[in-house]
A and B are shown apart, each in its own frame.
Chain A
Amino acid sequence: MRRYGSAVLLLLVGGAVLRISLFSELYLRYVQAALRPYLVISGSLLILLGLVAAVRGMRQRDHEEHEDHEEHGEHEEEEEEEGEGEEAEHDHGHSHSHGGPRIAWLLTLPALALLLFPPPALGSYSASREEAQRAAQGVGTFSALPAGKVLDISVAQYSSRAIYDTGHSLKGRTLRMTGFVTHGSDGTWYLTRLLVTCCAADATISKVEIRGDEADGAPQTDSWVTVTGTWVPKGRLGTDGAWPPVLKAAQVEQVKEPADPYDKR
């Protein structure tokens, strides 16, 4: 393990990165879509580095076997110094020639998690812990919405137009949104979606209260639904009274969790 430590770690991390970015779309649970090419490149590079390390380890073993009876300890080339302060004081070069730094074994945690049980996308738990943030923007007019009978719109887009648009671009439109279900305290339920800018650590939430006959049988928390309905004006634009925005549902449909569980900015 000592000789192949670096190789094993690099292959594990590279494999984990490629598994979520190249062979599936799981990376969308953790980071934004634009990072994919970089993930694929870094995954491949890590695999390559791991193979180089493995070849070097094998060569070194042959080398050692050949000269084993001659002199020991001389061919510990390319000594790698350990990272921690205490290790630096040691007489290094004997214990860890190719195992890589010991702290690096922590990398197995996320790598194995991604390879074996990829953690789920953030859902209602994270949404409940953070009050939905209103996008920081002033009241104003928005660009016109595209024409069409039913308009697909993101939850974040809907909220900001419902709260800040003095042009009332949502008025009279039939809108369709997808998100997961969260429940309020008094029997209300919300269509919720998290918005991720860079990675899941910076998730912010937007939610829309769903009303109407169709909404009576509220779906289960965390189930994904597509809601079609119309805008219900509420409160004065740009104030706390306008929030959270409301949608009168005509149709609520259970759907599968989309590949990209987060809203795009």
Chain B
Amino acid sequence: MRVQNERTVVDGLRLAVRAMVYAVVGGAALLAIATVVSVLGPMLALDLYTPAVAAWWTVFTAVAVQGVPFLLLGTVVSAAIGAFVPERVFTKLLPRNQALAVPIAGAAGVVLPGCECASVPVASSLMRRGVAPAAALAFLLSAPAINPVVLVATSIAFPGQPKMVLGRLIASLATAVVMGWLWARFGREEWLRLPKRKQAATSSPTGVKAFVAGLQHDFLHAGGFLVLGAAAAATFNIAVPRSILDIFTGSSWLSLLLLAFLAVVLCVCSEADAFVAASLSGFSPAAKLAFMVVGPMVDLKLIALQAGTFGRAFAFRFSSATWLVAVVSSTLVGWWLL
């Protein structure tokens, strides 16, 4: 009994000493860290907080804030498709023949009024619901480029040039359809990594539960990639001065390629890119058209989102092919129409 008592006392003492040591050492360390941080922190932060860094943060948060409502719209639509729309609806609506389904899906892009952030989750949920990947990809490309909001914005940005709006519609739709056909012909299933989560989720819980779970997961997932893309866009926005554009305005070929490249790195939302294109004075109409056709289909933010949703192997192959097709189709349409 006494031995046991002693043991508990010793144990208690040991515990108390150990706790005290932890408290002293840890407290001292914490105090030291707190002092260093509170003294050096503001100095360092002020040093690092140059106008360029401030502008980076502003553009970064702006792209992210701007993307949130559209991303949420896209994930709401995609979660609703995943939870409430039975598979047979799509198999009935779309022709079995892929070559026919692609242009129909491409033209259906007119109905989703949003920018490119919204289209990725929707396309992925379409694929999970049994829509042929080729058709879903055509929808993915055309939706942000040819919806009414974007076309109206384009006509406001180019007053008195209805051909610009028409050219954008035709070139974007053509790119989307060609890419769908290319995927149907050359695409391989193993490049595309579709999240399988939905099948597991929809089989067990009811529609509403699956809807909420899908919404939470899809938003967080896509949101992370949106932030990644926003950081890339802000970096290029700050690092590449737009005055270098003047160097390239001389050659029409170079300027077209340059604007097509710029559309990728600037990540301007598809509802605003017409205004940016219009303000790029000194470029040929075809180059401006290329800027507006490439922008909603290939940009850093979108590549990040696609890599997250469909896998990296897919995103890089698909984005580079889309870029090429978009450049060719806007060159042809620009040469024919503008």
Q: Is the CB of A88 within 8 A of B55?
A: no
Q: Is the CB of B58 within 8 A of A120?
A: yes
Which A residues touch B272, using CB under 8 A? 197-199, 202
- B72 adjacent to chain A (CB < 8 Å): yes
Select A129's contact among B54, B64, B193, B242, beta carbons within 8 Å.
Answer: B242
Which A residues touch B69, using CB under 8 A? 35, 38-39, 41-42
Which segment of B15-23, B174-182, B275-283, B322-330 sits at the interface?
B275-283
Q: Mark A59-81, 1 if CB is under 8 A from B, else 0.
A: 00000000000000000011111
Within 8 A of A (CB), among B146-196: 158-160, 193, 195-196
- B123 adjacent to chain A (CB < 8 Å): no
Which A residues touch B193, using CB under 8 A? 85, 88
Q: Report B292 CB to chain A, min CB distance, Å.
A: 13
Q: Is the CB of B54 within 8 A of A46?
A: no
- B224 adjacent to chain A (CB < 8 Å): yes
Select A49's contact among B219, B268, B311, B313, beta carbons within 8 Å.
Answer: B219
Q: Is the CB of B204 within 8 A of A104?
A: no
- A30 adjacent to chain B (CB < 8 Å): yes
Which segment of B1-9, B88-96, B100-108, B209-217 sits at the interface?
B209-217
- B228 adjacent to chain A (CB < 8 Å): yes
Q: Is the CB of A201 within 8 A of B221?
A: no
Complex Cα–Cα for A178 and B217 (A): 45
- B220 adjacent to chain A (CB < 8 Å): yes
Select A131's contact among B51, B160, B227, B243, beta carbons within 8 Å.
Answer: B243
Taking CB as reference atom, which chain A residue is nearest B213? Answer: A78
Q: Is the CB of B204 within 8 A of A10?
A: no
Q: Is the CB of B224 within 8 A of A105?
A: yes
Within 8 A of B (CB), among A18-48: 20, 27, 29-31, 35, 38-39, 41-42, 45-46
Q: Is the CB of B217 within 8 A of A100?
A: yes
- A219 adjacent to chain B (CB < 8 Å): no
Which B residues touch A85, using CB under 8 A? 193, 311-313
- Chain B interface category by residue count: 35 or more
Select B241's contact among A9, A30, A130, A134, beta carbons within 8 Å.
Answer: A130
Complex Cα–Cα for A119 and B217 (A): 28
- B137 adjacent to chain A (CB < 8 Å): no
Within 8 A of B (CB), among A193-239: 197-202, 204
Complex Cα–Cα for A135 and B158 (A): 10
Asked whether A103 and B221 contact (CB < 8 A) given A30-B58, A131-B243, A198-B269, the answer is yes
- B271 adjacent to chain A (CB < 8 Å): yes
- B139 adjacent to chain A (CB < 8 Å): no
Asked whether A42 and B269 contact (CB < 8 A) given A85-B311, A101-B221, A113-B57, the answer is no
Within 8 A of A (CB), among B222-236: 223-225, 227-228, 230-231, 233-234
Q: Is the CB of B66 within 8 A of A29?
A: no
Q: Report B303 CB to chain A, min CB distance, Å.
A: 14
Complex Cα–Cα for A122 and B59 (A): 8
Give how many A residues have a beta carbon under 8 Å from the other chain's beta carbons.
67
- A6 adjacent to chain B (CB < 8 Å): yes
Which B residues touch A126, using CB under 8 A? 55
Q: Is the CB of A104 within 8 A of B311?
A: no
Q: Is the CB of B51 within 8 A of A125?
A: yes
Which A residues touch B279, using CB under 8 A? 133, 135-136, 204
Complex Cα–Cα for A114 and B312 (A): 30
Q: Report B48 CB to chain A, min CB distance, Å.
A: 13
Taking CB as reference atom, which chain B residue is nearest A222? Answer: B51
- B308 adjacent to chain A (CB < 8 Å): yes
Within 8 A of A (CB), among B305-332: 308-309, 311-313
Which B residues touch A39, using CB under 8 A? 65, 68-69
Complex Cα–Cα for A137 and B238 (A): 27
- B30 adjacent to chain A (CB < 8 Å): no
Q: Is the CB of B62 within 8 A of A201?
A: yes
- B237 adjacent to chain A (CB < 8 Å): yes
Which B residues touch A134, using CB under 8 A? 281
Q: Report A205 CB to chain B, min CB distance, Å.
A: 10
Additional A-B contacts beyond A122-B59, A126-B55 (13; CB < 8 A): A49-B219, A53-B216, A77-B204, A78-B213, A80-B197, A100-B216, A109-B231, A113-B57, A122-B55, A135-B278, A136-B278, A201-B237, A201-B266
Q: List 29 A-B contacts (CB under 8 A).
A: A6-B217, A13-B68, A27-B65, A31-B62, A42-B68, A83-B195, A85-B313, A88-B193, A88-B311, A105-B224, A106-B228, A107-B220, A110-B64, A110-B230, A114-B61, A119-B57, A119-B60, A119-B61, A125-B52, A130-B243, A135-B279, A198-B271, A199-B269, A201-B234, A201-B268, A201-B269, A202-B269, A202-B272, A204-B279
